[in-house]
A and B are shown apart, each in its own frame.
Chain A
Amino acid sequence: MVKYIDRESDAQLMQRIGWHQVKAVEDRAMRRNFWKAFAFMAPALFLVCGLLLMPVVYNIYFSFTKWKKFAGLDEFAGFSNYAKLPGNPYFDEAFYNTAIWVAASVVFPLAIGFGLAVFLRAVPFGNMFKNIIFLPRILAPTAVAVIWFHVYAPHGVINSLLAMVVGRPVDIGWLYQDNTVTPAIIATFVWQSVGLVMVLVLLGLSAIPKDPLEAARIDGATNGQVFRHIVMPLLMPTLVVVTILSVLSGFTTFDLLWVMGVGYPGQRTLSLAVYMYFESFQKGSWAFGSAIAVVIGIVVFSVTWIQTLMQSRVDKMTR
């Protein structure tokens, strides 16, 4: 018997145990499962392809045409729309302003959100404050912009409060002055986004295991040392995610700038997203606007890619 088995080939073995029949059954099951899985995924696939990928492909296509207002969609323009970007004063201004926005939208929400998360873990009624601070996040950005447009109005809340403090009428046009319009809109952005940062940091903090903290304290580490050498490294993956989200929202912020900057005629509120909207929707330069959109996409993709690389490094370090 043993001898027989030794001489048995793989094919004979498979034949003997009925492997082909089993495989056929498994294949049939897999095919059936594939179509089932496909049916479940179909709505999501349809939405992603129809509402995300197709518009992106179309947008790239438009950027190589001469489409302006009612004509030019069928005329190929090569890279001429892209060639118009470098040296264009509006594009340069928009790029500079966007860089400021991205920096501000990372630094302020992260610093304040982090501080609030650490502080609110230790205070009574912390949950209530967390909810209040998170509340602006659930409002639509356009609604936030309209509310703050009136808060900053010449006869709005801010000037009224300042008037009470200084004891005379205050008439600062927060959204109408070169030196105040950007800080005012950034403050609104921080007000809305700090809640999400705080919640993410709180989640990160609560995921930190207690053992290393206790061990460090037993070894005589001070609070500062524990925070610097244990909490921060373990929190780093969360902070990288928060930074990526902040950078993305900084690049794509449009609603606040468009609504709150409507009365301000200068270019301080001109971000890349606003410039793209202006060229496309107001001037009807669809092809040129599409080229700006592609540039925004490439910049955001590159920055996010670098951050993702950083995240994987951090993951390796903390593993």
Chain B
Amino acid sequence: MNFKTKLLSLAFAGFMSASVVSVYAAEVTLVHDKPFWGEALQKVVDAATKSIGETMKQNAYSPPEQFKAYMQSSIAANDPPDIFTWWTGGVYEELIKSGQIAELDDIWAEMIKSGEFSEGVRDFYKVGDHIYGVPLHLSRWVVLYNKANYTKVGISEPKTWAEFLSNAEKLKAAGITPFVATTQDGWRGFIWFEEIMLRTNPEAYMGLHSGKIAYDSEPVRNAFKIWVDWYAKGYFTDPRSTEEVADFAKNKGSMNLIGDWAVGLVEKAGMKPGTDFGAFIMPNMDAALPSSAILEGSPIMLSKKGLAKPEVVKALKYFVSVEGANVWATASGNGLGNSKANPPNDVVNKINQDVAAMKTVSYPRWWEAVPADLQGEIVAELNRFMLSPTMETAESVMATTQKLNAAYWADKQ
């Protein structure tokens, strides 16, 4: 064997060894259902790979039902992913009941001790005596508004229900449709229903989720009356649109009621946060009620086998660290509740200040709070109302949804 051949053999052996090592090297894969944040998540996993010295990747399943199916079959096969995103509410509790999800109490103790997270944020992910998730994002549902339109009409952020209605009326009078609302993707029907219920009767809103309040009760009927009235006045954009964010960015509607996670998406669509659009928490109908807002916070969770792997725990800790939160905020426009991290953008920063100043109370989103078995059918009914927004349809929707609701709770007893 001459020198050249020996050298080539050594190089080949080295290459093969490196390949084998790389194949078997520890790798952390974040499994999620959010391809629309794929680029942003990639930036975080790349930063994590550099920072913690472990290879981190992401794997998106879409649509969400495919992701749910994957999780349900992997739990059935006792092989859930190490680290993954999920939802709060009923589906969160169902997953935890499987017994394969890790308790993150110790990690949260460190997070609280560092002064970066509050106990309030921690308790958002608590079920019973334990905590099972850390935030992927914490978003409040607010009204994004087009600043140029507000200036043009001579209005400002509303502080009261009357001002809110007056703003809508003035915009409409100026030929600008006040609110964006669509049935896009089949899940958005609950957004305005939830908000009007919360603004008019928060107690009844919460009662809907536990079966204490019927879907054909007076508080619900009142909410529908308001909704019908606003539709009759032409306050909403075409519900058949499939481009909610673009509708707002293209000024088809002046106000968009949505989670503040959408700020990054609106920015991508061409509007500058804080300059072109701002945000406010919708005021309550009854001024005596405390300020309130819907809080949504998808968790990142670990399976028990994931918790046993040091590299997975390191990756999770990186995500909620100041550095990780900053990368995530810049990439996606989302905050995850780390008080020492930079606010993701001016709009979210302003909302955070409002929440602190107004002592805003958080309420769960209808989507997570409603029993998961009722979610699809009821939201389809709410979509049906949006496509034919009359009191006649509202009565029919109330009757159908209450029938489903009553059957569900009767079955539970």
CA–CA, A187 to B184, complex, Å? Answer: 23
Q: Is A265 a contact partner of B183 (Cβ separation < 8 A)?
A: yes
Q: Is B384 a contact partner of A265 (Cβ separation < 8 A)?
A: yes
Query: Which single residue of chain B is at the shortest CB-CB distance from A89?
Result: B403
Question: Whole-angstrom distance from the CB of A307 to the nearest CB of chain B?
Answer: 33
Please choose the segment from B9-17, B61-69, B122-130 that sits at the chain A interface, where 4 or more of its residues have CB less than 8 A away. Answer: B61-69
Query: Which single residue of chain A is at the shortest CB-CB distance from B376?
Result: A282
Asked if B156 lies at the interface with its beta carbon under 8 angstroms from chain A, I say no
Asked if B97 lies at the interface with its beta carbon under 8 angstroms from chain A, I say yes
Asked if B40 lies at the interface with its beta carbon under 8 angstroms from chain A, I say no
Question: Whole-angstrom distance from the CB of B237 to the nearest CB of chain A?
Answer: 11
Q: Is A263 a contact partner of B69 (Cβ separation < 8 A)?
A: no
Asked if A78 lies at the interface with its beta carbon under 8 angstroms from chain B, I say no
CB neighbours (8 Å) of A204 from chain B are: none
Q: Is A70 a contact partner of B387 (Cβ separation < 8 A)?
A: no
Q: Is B68 a contact partner of A176 (Cβ separation < 8 A)?
A: no
Asked if B186 lies at the interface with its beta carbon under 8 angstroms from chain A, I say yes
CB neighbours (8 Å) of A70 from chain B are: 72, 75-76, 94-95, 97-98
Q: Is B95 a contact partner of A281 (Cβ separation < 8 A)?
A: no
Chain A positions 250-299 with a Cβ under 8 Å from a chain B Cβ: 262-263, 265-266, 278, 280-284, 286
Asked if B298 lies at the interface with its beta carbon under 8 angstroms from chain A, I say no
**A interface footprint on B229-243 (CB within 8 Å = 1, 0 otherwise):** 000000000101010
Category for how many chain A residues contact B? 20 to 34
- Contact partner of A176 (CB less than 8 A), chosen from B65, B76, B381, B387, is B387
CB neighbours (8 Å) of B186 from chain A are: 262-263, 265
CA–CA, A270 to B75, complex, Å? Answer: 29
Known: A70-B76, A70-B98, A265-B384. A173 touches B240 (CB 8 A): yes
CB neighbours (8 Å) of B376 from chain A are: 278, 282-283
Asked if B254 lies at the interface with its beta carbon under 8 angstroms from chain A, I say no
Known: A70-B75, A262-B186, A265-B381. A282 touches B387 (CB 8 A): no
CA–CA, A169 to B66, complex, Å? Answer: 39
Asked if A154 lies at the interface with its beta carbon under 8 angstroms from chain B, I say yes
Question: Whole-angstrom distance from the CB of A88 to the nearest CB of chain B?
Answer: 11
The tally of residues in B whose CB lies under 8 Å from a CB in A reads: 28
CA–CA, A176 to B189, complex, Å? Answer: 14
CA–CA, A262 to B387, complex, Å? Answer: 13
Query: Which single residue of chain B is at the shortest CB-CB distance from A278?
Result: B376
CA–CA, A2 to B75, complex, Å? Answer: 82
Question: Whole-angstrom distance from the CB of B349 to the nearest CB of chain A?
Answer: 35
CA–CA, A173 to B183, complex, Å? Answer: 13
Question: Whole-angstrom distance from the CB of A264 to the nearest CB of chain B?
Answer: 8
Chain B positions 49-99 with a Cβ under 8 Å from a chain A Cβ: 65-66, 68-69, 72, 75-76, 94-95, 97-98
Q: Is B189 a contact partner of A265 (Cβ separation < 8 A)?
A: yes
Q: Is A284 a contact partner of B240 (Cβ separation < 8 A)?
A: no
Chain A positions 147-187 with a Cβ under 8 Å from a chain B Cβ: 153-154, 173, 176
Q: Is B242 a contact partner of A153 (Cβ separation < 8 A)?
A: yes
Known: A71-B97, A281-B66. A263 touches B184 (CB 8 A): yes
CB neighbours (8 Å) of A281 from chain B are: 65-66, 68-69
- Contact partner of B387 (CB less than 8 A), chosen from A265, A280, A284, is A265
Query: Which single residue of chain B is at the shortest CB-CB distance from A70?
Result: B98
Question: Whole-angstrom distance from the CB of A199 to the nearest CB of chain B?
Answer: 34
Residue picked from A153, A263, A283, most chain B C-beta under 10 Å? A263
Known: A69-B94, A265-B381. A173 touches B387 (CB 8 A): yes
Chain B positions 180-205 with a Cβ under 8 Å from a chain A Cβ: 183-186, 189
CA–CA, A73 to B95, complex, Å? Answer: 15
CA–CA, A284 to B69, complex, Å? Answer: 7
Q: Is B72 a contact partner of A284 (Cβ separation < 8 A)?
A: yes
CB neighbours (8 Å) of A69 from chain B are: 72, 94
Question: Whole-angstrom distance from the CB of A62 to the nearest CB of chain B?
Answer: 10
Asked if B119 lies at the interface with its beta carbon under 8 angstroms from chain A, I say no
Residue picked from B98, B183, B240, B387, most chain A C-beta under 10 Å? B240
CB neighbours (8 Å) of B184 from chain A are: 263
CA–CA, A284 to B68, complex, Å? Answer: 8
CB neighbours (8 Å) of B75 from chain A are: 70
Asked if A101 lies at the interface with its beta carbon under 8 angstroms from chain B, I say no
CB neighbours (8 Å) of A64 from chain B are: none
Q: Is B68 a contact partner of A73 (Cβ separation < 8 A)?
A: no
CA–CA, A154 to B76, complex, Å? Answer: 44
Q: Is A265 a contact partner of B94 (Cβ separation < 8 A)?
A: no
CB neighbours (8 Å) of A282 from chain B are: 65, 68, 376
Asked if B373 lies at the interface with its beta carbon under 8 angstroms from chain A, I say yes
Known: A263-B183, A280-B69. A153 touches B240 (CB 8 A): yes
CB neighbours (8 Å) of A283 from chain B are: 372-373, 376
Q: Is B76 a contact partner of A263 (Cβ separation < 8 A)?
A: no
Q: Is A263 a contact partner of B240 (Cβ separation < 8 A)?
A: yes
Asked if B383 lies at the interface with its beta carbon under 8 angstroms from chain A, I say yes
CB neighbours (8 Å) of A154 from chain B are: 238, 240
Asked if B380 lies at the interface with its beta carbon under 8 angstroms from chain A, I say yes
CB neighbours (8 Å) of A189 from chain B are: none
Q: Is B65 a contact partner of A265 (Cβ separation < 8 A)?
A: no
CB neighbours (8 Å) of B68 from chain A are: 281-282, 284
CA–CA, A122 to B26, complex, Å? Answer: 67
Q: Is A176 a contact partner of B72 (Cβ separation < 8 A)?
A: no
Question: Whole-angstrom distance from the CB of B354 to the nearest CB of chain A?
Answer: 34
9 contacts between A and B (CB under 8 A): A70-B76, A153-B240, A173-B387, A263-B240, A266-B384, A281-B66, A282-B376, A284-B372, A286-B72
Q: Identify 20 new A-B residue pairs, CB closer than 8 A, beyond the known A153-B242, A265-B382, A265-B384.
A: A69-B94, A70-B72, A70-B98, A173-B387, A262-B185, A262-B186, A263-B183, A263-B184, A263-B242, A265-B380, A265-B381, A266-B380, A266-B384, A281-B65, A281-B68, A282-B65, A283-B372, A283-B373, A283-B376, A286-B72
A residues touching B (Cβ–Cβ < 8 Å)?
67, 69-71, 73, 153-154, 173, 176, 262-263, 265-266, 278, 280-284, 286
